[in-house]
Amino acid sequence: MDFKVQATAPGTAARAGLITTDHGVIETPIFMPVGTCGSVKAVHTRELREEVRAQIILGNTYHLYLRPGMEILEQAGGLHKFNGWDRPILTDSGGFQVFSLAENRKLTEEGVHFRSHIDGSRHLFTPEKVVELQRSIGSDIMMALDECPPGTAERSYARKSLDLTLKWMERGWKHYNETEPRYGHRQAWFPIVQGVTYPDLRRESAERVAELGADGNAIGGLAVGEPAEVMYDMIEVVNEILPADRPRYLMGVGTPVNILEAIDRGVDMMDCVMPTRNGRNGMLFTPQGTMNMRNKKWADDFSPIWEDSPCLTDRVYSRAYLRHLFAANEILAMQIASIHNLSFYLWLVEEARRHIQAGDFKPWKEEMVRNLNTRL
């Protein structure tokens, strides 16, 4: 994997770049739609390509491991061939899902023992096994196994958790370098910075991560209960240390405002379930603010969902029609809203990139943040 910074924005740490993988080039900053089980909920692969304009999507190791399972994915030739997505894929390690979904989990230095949320069966994820699972999935970017403590964790727990994550990181890195891809394309591996909201722990973690010299680096354990301003402070602390010539991936973040603030602080890659999850519940994001499509005020508004949208769906359907679909509990409502929100997120990072290259990112961002905080 190759990364090249093309432009930076005056007065900020924002940058525009290119990530080159064997499945295509990714223009950064980039938002990555989440396809947990190998699909982005309610969105067809064709729509991801043509309407959303996604350049890379995510898969989740925990969910794909439990079903369809590695045997099926290996028989298919990897996730790209299994789901028909021929562009880059990133997989997370599954650690967050183990800690949030699995029952009776137990952390040891060996790894994490857990019960499946599907059938209660017992499993073990080790740093080495998680590398092997992602080799079987065939993702272009693999993630290290880590523990993600809550944002309110006490320092004693944060210290213990970070020590475990760093030990797992070293083992995962070693196993990654001792193994080979299975489907003929190169796979990168990203270590993850943890440390909750303690600056010294974050610095220590970032220094250890940077020492590895991996193709890219991730920032985890944010947007998990801490205030937004604290999250931004932690991003700044970490990005002062992480190498500027490697992409920086902020995991699981977030709102459109969070994304712009992260870009401002030097983040290149982001993902979140918010655009699809909120869309399925009737919340739409637009450049002018957020819209609750269940609100009666849209019942006789026959204007396009987003008149200037680059997405055809937004110009075909009216706000009144989408409101009707939600009121009638039609599945199409969730599909239209998901496509819209993902299209908006991709538009937002495309605009950020354009303004970074033009040199006026900072004033554009400040105006956009004001708009995004508006309820329509």
Catalytic residues: 92, 271
Query: Is residue 159 within 8 Å of residue 107, measured between CB atoms?
Result: no
Work out the angle between the directed axes of helices 155-178 and 127-137 (0-180°, nearest 10). Answer: 50
d(CA 51, CA 49): 6
Q: Are the C-beta atoms of 295 and 301 separated by less than 8 Å?
A: no
Q: Which one-letter DSSP state was computed for residue 297?
A: G
Residues 6 or more apart in contact with residue 119 via CB below 8 angstroms = none
Buried b or exposed e, range 165-184, using 16+ CB within 10 angstroms: bbebbebbbebbeeeebbbe
C-alpha Rg value of the chain to the nearest Å: 20
Helix axes 256-264, 361-372, angle to 10 degrees: 160
Place of tokens 């991003």: 235
* Type and span of the H or E element at 316: helix 312-316
Strands 122-125 and 57-60: unpaired
The residues near 310 (Cβ < 8 Å, ≥ 6 apart) are 53, 343, 347
CA distance linking residue 357 with residue 112, whole number of Å: 44
- In angstroms, the CA 308 to CA 288 distance is 11
Q: From CA 115, how far away is CA 159, in angstroms rounded?
A: 26
Run of H or E residues at 308: none
Strands (E) across the chain are located at 2-8, 15-21, 24-28, 30-32, 57-60, 89-92, 103-107, 112-115, 122-125, 141-143, 188-190, 192-193, 217-219, 248-250, 269-271, 283-286, 289-292
CA 137 to chain centre: 17
